Structure 1
Amino acid sequence: MARTPIELLSPADQERRRALSRMKTIALGALIAMAVLFCIGFVLQERYPAWGYLRAAGEGGMVGALADWFAVTALFRRPMGLPIPHTAIIPNRKDEIGRTLGEFVETNFLAGDVVRQKLDTTPIAARLGAWLREEPNAQRVGSELSTAAAGILRALSDDDVQDLISDLARRHLIDQDWATPAGTWLGRIVETDAQRPAVDLAADTIANWLSSNHAAFQGLISRRLPGWVPKLAHRFVDDTAYNEAVKFVDAVREDPNHPARHAIDGYLARLADNLQHDPTTRAKLEGAKSGVFDSPKVRQLASDAWQTVKTGLITALEDEDSALRARINAALADIGARLADDASLQRRVDGWVTNAAVFLVDRYRHDIASIITDTVERWDASETTEKIELMVGRDLQYIRLNGTVVGALAGVTIFAVAHAAVQLFG
């Protein structure tokens, strides 16, 4: 199996590889030590029988070390490259290991009751509130939200937004019937006499205009008189028209039952009825509506308005000192304070989060667990083997050391029992 060059590994994996190499060297050294002891004991046991114990210890240690070396090596590769059955387990069964791991996580971790039990004991809202109420944290969240919002605004297609606005305008403005609701609304206004303040306002406005625009009446009527009429008569006619207009408006303002008011009321009542029942009036309103909202100028106005709003929002979102950013940060800090102090709100938020998490886990736990399975299946077998070996290989080398020690002790024990049996029954 080709090893990844150490410079391509992460710093943590580089340290793991160095630790693994050290442990392999120690385990190999223990095997060599057992071999040396075996050789010494084997040579000297004929002359000095007690050295047989040393030979037995070395022999048992070598057997234990070699057996555990084979077992550990067989997990990751074929020992000595030999095609021995049931070796190189991890690279040969990588996909099955991924499926098993995914099933294990799905069964034991992505279960609704497990998630609910954990979240029920976690004060999510209180912790979030305590963190969010701190101004630096609120500013950090506000900055991230503003960056995301600005990115979304930039990513939006102006043509798509304009089409959406046009579709919404057509659906809710152009295609909707305005005549019937407008007639109904106007009829209710007349029935409740709610139009009187509007009439009063109109009369007051006209009166104020008349008092400030006497000159506007100069020549208004007199210019239509024959040329032989004296100029003094011209002025008299214009002043008379002005004074009559002022008197008429003042009379309307002062008399709640003035005929002009009744005429306006009657006109509004007829208009309300026509808007609901007269096809001609209804058609005129619909035509005027379509002429306004289907006008290219209106569509251009909507486009310009969107560009203005978009540019303004992006500028405000990107400016840390803008009023919008300040309000966002203040709102987040206020939310954090409420979450930290309001026990009732904490319970509601914790309940919402828990229910949402349980719903997502119950509904999508297989899809979530499949991420593990799919990811492991995409991994290269050699790379996967190396990653796993770096993670657990150092600990597995202790098995080789333990096997060496246990083998040596077992060898001595077996030799001692056998020697005692020979002495007793020989």
Structure 2
Amino acid sequence: MAAVFVAARLLQPDYPWLGFVAAFAEAAMVGGLADWFAVTALFRHPLGLPIPHTAIIPRNKDRIGANIAEFLEHNFITPDVVRNELKDVDLAGIGARWLADDANNRAVAERIVGTIPAVLNMIEDRDAAAFFGGTLASGMKDVKLAPLTGQVLSVLVANGQHIRLLQKVLGLVGSALEENRGYIRQKVHDHSPKWMPKMVDEKFYERLMDGIQSILDDMADENGAWRERFHTAIMELIEKLEESPEYEARLRGLLARGITHPLFREYVAGVWADIRGRLLAASESPESRLLLRTQGALRIFSTALEKNDTVRTKLNEWLKSFATEAIVERRSLIVAVVRKVIDKWDAETISAKLETQVGSDLQFIRINGTLVGGVVGVLLYAISLVLGGH
């Protein structure tokens, strides 16, 4: 514009119409310089001169950071905004489709199984025994053991299971006697006086075995007195369990002694060691059954989730509600990060970053200022000619 202004001024005596060109160029220079000064003053001191009210962004960096953070907090990270943005997002469907891919569910299964050794190695066998014992004691603390046992027995009696149980026990006893006849005979001989004839021992053994077998047969007889006594005893026991505090105290004492007994702790520790060993072996194998089952479970879950609209809708509602609450409740942390990052930037850095982001738009501001100034200059020149002519 300066070059056009000089050329137009030099040639204007020979070409009077160039006065309009000179007026355009003159005003365009003023408009361009004014916009250059205004834009430059945002980011730095024009020409390096400490002119008041220039370098606005560097001087107000902290206030700008605080304002940006506050603007984000109250205009973007609000329940309505976050909820509205998540409204049409099918989070559960996206997750289901992602898990349906074999590579993805394999990666998730490996990550799940891979955490097992670290978790298991943190738990000592004694701690596991103490935990299971404490959990059992705590879980049974408010349970009435005697009435509960009575109810279980009532169900067994109602279905005739107590008779089947008795028959099973009698069958086991009979089998045990038959399989250990030689052992019993030897015990009879061992405990008989040395002067006792062996024939007498044998007769005593046979009488003993016949007597025991006769009792077992009587107990197994459906119409025998033993069966009636057994049923009566069970019914009396059920009644006492449901009503007698003494039985409750006995059962609770048995439970307490059993849980604290070293044998129980050793048993639990042994079971835990076996479970841990199996899980560790399964988790360390690249193609273990545990890994394949986990992967299969994830695949089944993803397929079922994608096909079940009701479950997916409910899960989406929960996920969106959780995400909204989590984001909004932590918005102060989010804006604190924004403010902290901006506070760490020096004046030159923030100026350079902002100028880089809006540089092309600022260039158009300068160009527009130049063109608008030139148009205004032509209009003013024309008005001056009209007024001068009058």
Structure 1 residue 162 displacement after superposition: 6.5
Cα displacement string for residues 1-20 of structure 1 (whole angstroms, at most 9, x for unaligned residues): xxxxxxxxxxxxxxxxxxxx
Q: Which amino acid aligns with 2:148?
A: W
Query: Of 386, 389, 404, which residue of structure 1 is paired with 2:352?
Result: 386
Distance 1:157 1:133 in 2: 29
Q: Which residue of 2 aligns with 1:214?
A: 181
Pair 326,105 (structure 1): closer, same or farther in 2 beyond 3 Å: same
Pair 233,275 (structure 1): closer, same or farther in 2 beyond 3 Å: farther
Q: Which residue of 2 aligns with 1:68?
A: 35
Distance 2:27 2:126 in 1: 84
Relative to the length of structure 2, the TM-score reads: 0.78
Q: Which amino acid aligns with 1:185?
A: L
Cα displacement string for residues 46-78 of structure 1 (whole angstroms, at most 9, x for unaligned residues): 565444444434333332232222222222222
Q: Which residue of 2 aligns with 1:107?
A: 74
Q: Which amino acid aligns with 1:170?
A: G
Relative to the length of structure 1, the TM-score reads: 0.73
| 1:199 lines up with 2:155 in the alignment | no
Structure 1 residue 374 displacement after superposition: 4.2
Query: Of 316, 321, 325, which residue of structure 1 is paired with 2:291?
Result: 325
Distance 2:202 2:376 in 1: 137
Please give the secondary structure, in 1, of the residue aligned with 2:183.
helix
Distance 1:205 1:397 in 2: 100
Q: Which residue of 1 aligns with 2:122?
A: 158
Query: Of 120, 123, 144, which residue of structure 2 is paired with 1:181?
Result: 144
Q: Is the 8 A contact 2:116 2:283 kept in 1?
A: no
Please give the secondary structure, in 2, of the residue aligned with 1:219.
helix
- Note the 1:65-104 alignment, pairs <5 A: 65-104=32-71
Distance 2:178 2:26 in 1: 125
| 1:240 lines up with 2:240 in the alignment | no
Q: Is the 8 A contact 1:146 1:318 kept in 2?
A: no
Distance 2:240 2:53 in 1: 92
Q: Which amino acid aligns with 2:146?
A: G
Aligned pairs, number:
386
Query: Of 357, 370, 377, which residue of structure 2 is paired with 1:404?
Result: 370
RMSD: 4.0
Query: Of 170, 178, 190, which residue of structure 1 is paired with 2:134?
Result: 170
Structure 1, gaps ≥5 residues long: 1-33
Cα displacement string for residues 340-370 of structure 1 (whole angstroms, at most 9, x for unaligned residues): 3333334333333344445446655555544
Cα displacement string for residues 192-246 of structure 1 (whole angstroms, at most 9, x for unaligned residues): 6353332222111111222322222122222222212222332332233233323
Distance 2:350 2:271 in 1: 56
Q: Which amino acid aligns with 1:405?
A: L
| 1:336 lines up with 2:299 in the alignment | no
Cα displacement string for residues 68-111 of structure 1 (whole angstroms, at most 9, x for unaligned residues): 22222222222233333333232333333333333333333333
Distance 2:245 2:308 in 1: 59
Q: Is the 8 A contact 2:41 2:56 kept in 1?
A: yes
> Which deviates more from structure 2 when the two are superposed, residues 363-372 or residues 73-82?
363-372
Structure 1 residue 256 displacement after superposition: 5.3
Distance 1:113 1:122 in 2: 15
Query: Of 197, 203, 219, which residue of structure 2 is paired with 1:230?
Result: 197
Please give the secondary structure, in 2, of the residue aligned with 1:83.
coil
Pair 295,389 (structure 1): closer, same or farther in 2 beyond 3 Å: farther
Distance 1:189 1:152 in 2: 37
Q: Is the 8 A contact 2:116 2:280 kept in 1?
A: no
Query: Of 361, 367, 385, which residue of structure 2 is paired with 1:395?
Result: 361
Pair 251,161 (structure 1): closer, same or farther in 2 beyond 3 Å: closer
Q: Which residue of 2 aligns with 1:17?
A: none
Please give the secondary structure, in 2, of the residue aligned with 1:220.
helix
> Which deviates more from structure 2 when the two are superposed, residues 268-277 or residues 394-403?
268-277
Structure 1 residue 386 displacement after superposition: 2.6
Q: Which amino acid aligns with 2:318?
A: W
Distance 2:309 2:138 in 1: 49
Structure 1 residue 387 displacement after superposition: 2.4
- Note the 1:135-146 alignment, pairs <5 A: 135-136=101-102, 139-144=103-108, 146=110
Q: Which amino acid aligns with 2:107?
A: S
